[in-house]
Amino acid sequence: MLLEVNRLEISYGDVRAVHGADFAVAEGELVSIIGANGAGKTSILNGIMGLVPVRNGTVRFRGREITAMPAHRRAHEGIRLVPERARVFPRLSVYENLLTGAYGLRKKIPLEERLRWLYGLFPILEERRDQPAQTLSGGEQQQLAIARALISDPKLLLVDEVSMGLMPKLVDQVFDLLQSLNRDHGLTILLVEQNARASLEISHRAYVLETGSVVMEGPADDLLDDPKIQRAYLGLVEEEVERRQ
Amino acid sequence: MNAYVVTVATLVAIQSIVACGLNVVVGYAGQISLGHAAFFGIGAYASALLTTKAGLTFWTALPLVIAITGLVGLLLGIPSLRVRDDFLAITTIGINFIVEAVFLYVPFFGGALGIGGIPRVTFFHVKMKGLPYLYLCLAFLALVLLVCRWFTRSWAGLACFALREDETAAASMGISPVRFKLLAFVLGTAMAGLGGALYAHFMRFISAGDFSFPVSVMLLSMVVLGGMGTLWGPTLGAVILVSLPELFRPLLEIRFLIYTLLLLLMIRFQPGGLLGEASLVRRVFSRLMPGKEAPR
């Protein structure tokens, strides 16, 4: 397994955000974690990236325990995060934002080639190359955040609520892109989403998170067909659920 | 140039060097510091002691002075790893008071009498004073500006900018917050040390009060006024804030009132500083010379 998370517990003061979550991601997989607001999805990704302290449990990456490793070292190990709401560096130019993603890797990756590839994926970023990132629209910032993570050629891409605040057409585009990165480029992706349908449709497997624990897991197609999931996360009404059985 | 103008200009050049150092910490790495005068003082005292007590010349003492100030900057930069924003501001104020108290109460540092008899800088057996000393300070300022320019275009500079913008996002890009905050502190305080050395050998008498908290406020005002994170901003700020009180000297007591008013107006209408993004200066410049980039 590329990533193994055992009995993960994360708390903020007395509030337990995640308690005892178990999950794993194999190389080449696209796995999603779905759940409602406040289920602990973002906390799990932040725990894997090392941005919040883990109270209990272990995180293993490529067989090595990284539970206590600081975030920047995890980034060097090949884990990259596309944070919720993009979090691009507002006053840095688009180009500088992309370069930060390649920090410390200039000898390990062909920078020019990576940039050309990314500009091919996201032509708007080349067009806005010298503009401060804060002048970009929400969708463009989201693309920049993905590109900034991809420039390092990560081994595991964590994607946090990428659909949030995007217009529906862009959501489809972004999900298509993630699927093609996974299928055509072999990128391993762990996706955290409120938009359960869109993420299940492109995933191999999925975990359902409720109040900080994994309550269900399985192949994404099975979850899409599960009546409980259809009712709780896919917004289908009773007749539709029955019709589909 | 008469002696008075040369004196003011020399002080402007020295303060510019120190303000450039503060700009590395505050403007580039985003770590607020209200204690920069402490490092200005450490540089001045180090150079004064090394030349009066240890018998070194200005030139042999200078590398040591810069190293000492940078090292103390490294140690005192450690709080910035634990506290942020207002708390960091308060911590750095504390550092300023402690350093000033050490200078004032430890006999080794001359106590309340300060240190006098600091020798002039000699350059090829010529004692530098007046205009030549101004040129020396300007040469060092040019060097500091070159270092700043190089830094802002380096990977380390980019890492600092990223930290300033969003520490969490920077860390998840593989940028170590610890390393680059401390790097900014070392670089910024080393520049303050250089400025301190030039100040000591210019005044030839220093005392703890020269490096008190109001001096830190003045230095931060220079950076904010000129434009945080810009290249020329701190120098412009130093020119204005050192020469304005001189120009307003005939107005006696109310000159600080005018000065305060100017600062308040700046904060209200030009929060990015004179050379900051979308500032008045930049807009006027782009109107007068379309297609050319204004200095930053």
Question: When comparing pLDDT for B241 and A205, which is higher?
Answer: A205
- Which residues pair with residue A65 across a beta bridge? A60
Query: In this prediction, what percent of chain A has a pLDDT beyond 90?
Result: 73
Q: Count Cβ atoms within 10 A of the Cβ of residue B275 and give its class: 0-12 exposed, 13-18 middle, 19 or more buried.
A: buried
Predicted complex ipTM: 0.90
Chain segment B59-107, per-residue pLDDT in tens: 999 999 999 999 999 998 887 788 878 888 899 999 999 999 999 999 8
- What structural domains does chain B harbor? 3-249 (1.10.3470)
A75 interaction partners in chain B (CB closer than 8 Å): 171-174
Which whole number is the average pLDDT over A20-31? 95
* pLDDT computed for residue B293 by the predictor: 66
Decide: helix, strand or coil at residue A209.
strand
Confidence of residue A194 (pLDDT cuts 50, 70, 90): confident
Query: Which of A103, A142, A153 is the best residue to mutate to test the B interface, defined by the most B CB atoms within 10 Å of its own CB?
Result: A103
* pLDDT computed for residue B121 by the predictor: 87
Chain segment A117-168, per-residue pLDDT in tens: 999 999 999 999 999 999 999 889 999 999 999 999 999 999 999 888 788 8
* pLDDT computed for residue A37 by the predictor: 84
Give the closest-approach CA distance of A176 to chain B in angstroms.
Answer: 24
* pLDDT computed for residue B126 by the predictor: 81
**Residue in chain B lying closest to A152 (CA):** B173
* pLDDT computed for residue B268 by the predictor: 82
B177 contact A CB<8A: yes
Is B153:A30 a contact under the CB 8 Å cutoff? no
A100 interaction partners in chain B (CB closer than 8 Å): 158-159, 162, 170, 173, 175
Alpha-carbon Rg for chain A in angstroms: 18
* pLDDT computed for residue A190 by the predictor: 97
> Does the pLDDT at position B150 exceed 90?
yes
Is B227:B272 a contact under the CB 8 Å cutoff? yes
* pLDDT computed for residue A245 by the predictor: 66
- What structural domains does chain A harbor? 3-78+154-244 (3.40.50.300), 88-153 (no CATH)
**Cα(A148)–Cα(A118) distance, rounded to whole angstroms?**
9
Number of neighbouring beta carbons within 10 Å of residue B270: 18
> Does the pLDDT at position A28 exceed 90?
yes
Which whole number is the average pLDDT over A227-239? 82
Q: Are A101 and B173 an interchain contact pair (Cβ–Cβ within 8 Å)?
A: yes
Which whole number is the average pLDDT over B172-191? 95
Q: Are A103 and B158 an interchain contact pair (Cβ–Cβ within 8 Å)?
A: yes
The CA–CA distances, whole Å, from B173 to A64, A73, A79, A82, A102 equal 20, 9, 9, 10, 8
* pLDDT computed for residue B291 by the predictor: 67
> Does the pLDDT at position A78 exceed 90?
yes
Confidence of residue B189 (pLDDT cuts 50, 70, 90): very high
Q: Are B174 and A104 an interchain contact pair (Cβ–Cβ within 8 Å)?
A: yes
B79 contact A CB<8A: no
